[in-house]
Every structure is written in structure tokens, then in C-alpha cells.
Amino acid sequence: MSLIKLSKVLLPLSIVMMAISAVLLFVPGPNLSMEFTGGTLMNISLPQGKSKADVQAATSAFITSDGKSLGNFALSTTKDGKVLIRMRDIGNEDHLAFLSHLKTSLGEVTENQFTTIGPTVGTTLKRRSMEALAIASIGIVLYIALVFRKVPRKFSPWRFGIVAVLAMIHDILIVSGIFVVLGLFTNFEMDTLFVTALLTLLGYSVNDTIVIFDRIRDNLTNGDRHEPFEVTADRSLRQTIVRTLNTGLGALIMLFCLFFFGPESIRWFMLALIIGTIIGTYSSFFVATPLLVFFRKKE
């Protein structure tokens, strides 16, 4: 079966997934880490016999100096057994009172770290993260347009770059949407490490797409000039499918090993790369190239 014809079914599905993911980014929205929202991070060591559940109960019971609870907070454990408490920004008075409360409730608690990130810093990180994604997109368009400048004249090199970025946006949106849903049921928070994963996926996705586009360019240059572009594109997909799948499988083997055997601190990062690698490989075949065919037909 023609891969291009198969994409006529899969491409609308991808568009629907993109639309759903875009909505999820606003409602309910991502569960952002304190790096973006501002807040307080507390790292403590527990006495023998105490667990994260005990910290959960003690933290829920704490009342600040203004008579309010800490509200939403998140707990996680490090590889060496320490507990991380992420909560809204609290002042020094409440910090000391909270530490005293933990010692009273749990015993000899040791505070290893207390860090506060203000909302201004969080806003700056959001802006810089978006700037990094935007600059990467512009750079990719310019690079592909430069590399494909010798494509036959009736095919614009800019179209190759724009389509690659559209496929890249597809990957980012769907991966982000998946992790918004995961954030509703787990303790996952979108942080700077997740942004790093997205930037990494941009490179992987574009690399796969360029390999296929390069094959299309070669077939356009050296093949039958009168062959329909859809046929040329489908032939190019078939010629690169083994190479692309082997690259993806090789990357996934490494990523799964790191996911299962690596430290807990990078587990979400690894999962983002795993999901992104699968979606990036899919989009190279069933999003990028079909869009190129679609825009060619519209000329």
C-alpha cells in the first residue's frame, strides 16, 4: 500500500491530535514546576521509620502565620532517600515555623536545602524557553532552505524548511499534550529539563525529516522529470524507511535502558524523549512528506 495514501487517513488524525493538545495547554493547562511559577523548594532528611506519607500528613496540617494552609504542594523522594517539598512561596518566619512543625510531628528532621524562586524569575524562564523554541524553528527553516537551494527550480527550497517546522510543531504539541494529561494523574511537572527534552526532540525530528527530503531531492534531480511528485515522494519514503526505523529503534533501546535503570531524577526526561522519538519518526513519514505533497498539489 502507498505510504502517501495511508497518510491521507493518518494526517487528519494528527491534525485532530494537535488541536486537542493545543486546547489541553490552556484547559486545564500544564502543571508547571516552581522554576516557572515561583515558589519554595525544601530538601529534608527524615528520621528512621518515617516515610513520605508522614511528611504528606504533617505538611497538610501546617498552618502559616496568616492562618492559611500551604495549599497545593508536591512531594518527591531522591535516590538517597531525601524528601523534596515543593510549595508556594513562604517567608522566613513561616519557613522556621514549618521546620519546627516537621520536627515536632516527625522527630529529628534535618533540612538540607531551602530555595525560593520568585515569580519574576519564573516569568523570565518562560520567556526564554519560548525564545529558544522560536530561534530553533527559524534556524531550521534557514538551514534547510540553504541546503536545498539546488532543488529543481519548480520546487521552492523554502517550502521544505516550512514543512519541516510544521512537522516539528506537530511533535511538540502532541508531546506537550500527552504530558499535560500525565500531569493530571501523576506528580509530573513541566520544568526546564522538559524544555530541554523538547529542544532535543526538535533536532531528532528534523534530522529524520531531512533524510527523507534529501532522498526526494535526489529523486527529483536524477529521476524521471515527468513522474508525478506524489509517486516520487512515495518512492523516497520506501527507500528511507529501513534506515529511519533502524535509527529510531537504536535510539529507543538506549532511552528505555536509561528510563528503567537510570536515576529517578531523569525518568520524566527519558519518557519525554521516548514518546518524542516515536512521534518524531511517525511525523517524518506521515506528516512532513504528505504536507509537501499537499502543498505541491495546491500550486
Q: What pLDDT sits at residue 16?
A: 94
Confidence (pTM): 0.80
**How many residues can be counted in the chain?**
299
Q: At CA 79, angle to CA 261 and CA 107, rounded to 5?
A: 155
Confidence of residue 53 (pLDDT cuts 50, 70, 90): confident
Domain positions in the chain are 3-33+121-297, 39-117
Least-confidence region, from 12-26, 64-78, 283-297: 64-78
pLDDT at position 159 over 90: no
In this structure, are residues 191 and 36 in contact, taking their beta carbons and an 8 Å threshold?
yes
Span 194-214, pLDDT tens digits: 888 988 888 888 888 888 888
Q: What pLDDT sits at residue 1?
A: 60
- Element containing residue 283 per DSSP (H, E): helix 267-283
Least-confidence region, from 48-52, 200-204, 262-266, 278-282: 262-266
- Higher pLDDT among residues 72 and 93, named by residue: 93
Mean of the pLDDT values across residues 74-93? 82
In this chain, the answer to whether the domains covering 3-33+121-297 and 39-117 adopt an identical fold is no
The percent of residues in the chain predicted with pLDDT above 70, rounded, is 95
The percent of residues in the chain predicted with pLDDT above 90, rounded, is 20
pLDDT at position 254 over 80: yes
Q: What pLDDT sits at residue 175?
A: 95
Q: At CA 262, angle to CA 259 and CA 267, rounded to 5?
A: 50
Q: What pLDDT sits at residue 126?
A: 73
- Per DSSP, what are the bridge partners of residue 24? none
Domain 3-33+121-297 fold is Multidrug efflux transporter AcrB transmembrane fold (1.20.1640)
Least-confidence region, from 84-93, 152-161, 162-171: 152-161
In this structure, are residues 90 and 40 in contact, taking their beta carbons and an 8 Å threshold?
yes
Mean of the pLDDT values across residues 265-292? 91
pLDDT at position 185 over 70: yes
Mean of the pLDDT values across residues 231-248? 89
In this structure, are residues 190 and 30 in contact, taking their beta carbons and an 8 Å threshold?
yes
pLDDT at position 72 over 90: no
Confidence of residue 135 (pLDDT cuts 50, 70, 90): confident
In this structure, are residues 143 and 114 in contact, taking their beta carbons and an 8 Å threshold?
no
Residue 134's Cβ-count burial label (10 Å; 0-12, 13-18, 19+) is: exposed
Span 39-117: which CATH code?
3.30.70.100
Distance CA 37, CA 123 (A): 7
- The CA-to-CA distance between both ends of the chain, in Å, stands at 26
Confidence of residue 119 (pLDDT cuts 50, 70, 90): low
Q: What pLDDT sits at residue 270?
A: 94
